[in-house]
Structure 1
Amino acid sequence: MKIALIIENSQAAKNSIVHDALTSVAEPLGHEVHHYGMYTPEDAAHLTYNMNGILSGILLNSGAADFVVTGCGTGMGSMLACNAMPGVFCGLVIDPTDAFLFAQINDGNAIAMPYAKGFGWAAELNLQDCYRKLFEGESGVGYPKERAAVMKKNRGILADMKKVTCHDMLTVLKNVDQEMLKTAISGERFAEYFYPNCQDDAIADYLRSL
């Protein structure tokens, strides 16, 4: 699985803590981690949580990533921005129980985490435990198991509902604020990770045109 990490501007100073926690768990499980920034608070590509939402939509809808890990001070802004995008199902994950239940019940493709609120002593251990609950086993199995069929049905209903309420991603890209979009894809390693992994030529062509 290709996991995309996106760090929001206000929490860019914690980049190494988050990145190290994620790679220490995900890579031994056979997953790839593609870090789309921010890398330092001084990065030229200054990503807000709204840009994180757009970037998540681009990566997931194009097939360049299978899962997105992002966040902000509380995680809520990034979660809302991600869920505004077509095909993105983002949960707010604060602790390992959240991570386990989100993976088993909701089987989403993105999480937003708080990297300021409650981010204290041994925060990296909480991050690692959350990532293990997300990535070490099969998602969508259901919890409790006897409700798995009902949960799967409800996930399908939500996916169908989102198709009705959201435009396709290419339409979103053409109509969203273009300067914000340009900044969202201006990270120093965006082209390196995105274009070789993108599976949607129309999205790739439009982004190149910018």
Structure 2
Amino acid sequence: MKIALMLENSQAPKNAMVLSELNHVAGGLGHEVFNTGMTDENDHHLTYIHLGIMASILLNSKAVDFVVTGCGTGQGALMASNLHPGVVCGYCLEPSDAFLFNQINNGNAISLAFAKGFGWAGELNVRYIFEKAFTGARGEGYPVERVVPQQQNAAILNEVKAAVCKDVVSSLKAIDQELVKQAVGSTQFQECFFAHCQVPEIAEYVRTLID
């Protein structure tokens, strides 16, 4: 699995710590981790709005399989991600959230709060969230007696989102293009995207923004 980590301006100083924990867990399981957001507070400026755009491009182009995002509360990154077609982002404040999101919703992104409630042993909470996010089977439903309806509802939700959020490139073009240009402007994002993008139409569109 290819996993993109993306942090925005308010939490950029925590990037090294979060990346280390993600590599410790996901890298140890054989997954590839790409640090596509801000690497420190002086890096290419991003807000949680940009993170949602980045998640859409990376996931819909199949450049990555999963996105780890977040902001101060995790709420902004969550909403910005779920605006876009093909992005199913869950809200994880603790490890059980990651486990339940995997089992019930089986999405492709999680949003964490990197400021609210992030005190002593915060890095351990992040590690344990990643352990639940990237180990074990996915989409099996929970609890056991609710497996069938949980799986059915997750599939229906994905169908509803696909119906209301149709063409990825058209949706990106409908956004203020300066926002999208800023979102795709960093070297680390472009390296990940162009090396692994599997949808030429999306690659061509991104090139028009950076050329």
In which range does the TM-score fall when normalised by the shorter chain? over 0.9
Could you tell me which residue of structure 1 aligns to residue 90 of structure 2? 91
1:16 to partner: Cα distance: 0.8
1:209 to partner: Cα distance: 1.1
Aligned counterparts, 1:194-209, within 5 A: 194-209=193-208
Could you tell me which residue of structure 2 aligns to residue 81 of structure 1? 80
Q: Structure 1, residues 39-65: CA drift from partner, whole Å, max 9, x if none? A: 01011x211001100100111111001
Q: Structure 1, residues 129-182: CA drift from partner, whole Å, max 9, x if none? A: 000001011111111123222111111110111112113211112111111101
SS at match of 1:189: helix
Q: Structure 1, residues 13-48: CA drift from partner, whole Å, max 9, x if none? A: 1111111111100011111101102001011x2110
SS at match of 1:117: coil
Could you tell me which residue of structure 1 aligns to residue 108 of structure 2? 109
Could you tell me which residue of structure 2 aligns to residue 35 of structure 1? 35
Aligned counterparts, 1:134-153, within 5 A: 134-153=133-152
Could you tell me which residue of structure 2 aligns to residue 6 of structure 1? 6
Alpha-carbon distance between aligned partners in 2 of 1:186 and 1:148, rounded to the nearest angstrom: 42
1:67 is the counterpart of 2:66: yes
Greater shift, 163-172 or 52-61, is seen at: 163-172
TM-score, scaled relative to structure 1? 0.97
**What is the Cα-based RMSD across aligned positions, in Å?**
0.8
Question: What residue ranges of structure 2 are gaps of 5+ in the alignment?
Answer: none
Alpha-carbon distance between aligned partners in 2 of 1:196 and 1:12, rounded to the nearest angstrom: 24
Alpha-carbon distance between aligned partners in 1 of 2:55 and 2:9, rounded to the nearest angstrom: 15
SS at match of 1:60: helix
The percent identity for this pair of structures is: 52
SS at match of 2:187: coil
Greater shift, 189-198 or 125-134, is seen at: 189-198
Poorly superposed stretches of 4+, deviation over 3 Å = none
Alpha-carbon distance between aligned partners in 1 of 2:188 and 2:12, rounded to the nearest angstrom: 16
| One-letter identity of the residue aligned with 1:91 | G
1:193 to partner: Cα distance: 1.0
Greater shift, 187-196 or 175-184, is seen at: 187-196
Aligned counterparts, 1:148-187, within 5 A: 148-187=147-186
1:20 is the counterpart of 2:20: yes
Alpha-carbon distance between aligned partners in 1 of 2:189 and 2:11, rounded to the nearest angstrom: 19
Alpha-carbon distance between aligned partners in 2 of 1:177 and 1:146, rounded to the nearest angstrom: 46
SS at match of 1:108: coil
Aligned length: 209
1:117 to partner: Cα distance: 0.3
Alpha-carbon distance between aligned partners in 2 of 1:55 and 1:145, rounded to the nearest angstrom: 35
SS at match of 1:46: coil
TM-score, scaled relative to structure 2? 0.97
SS at match of 1:7: coil
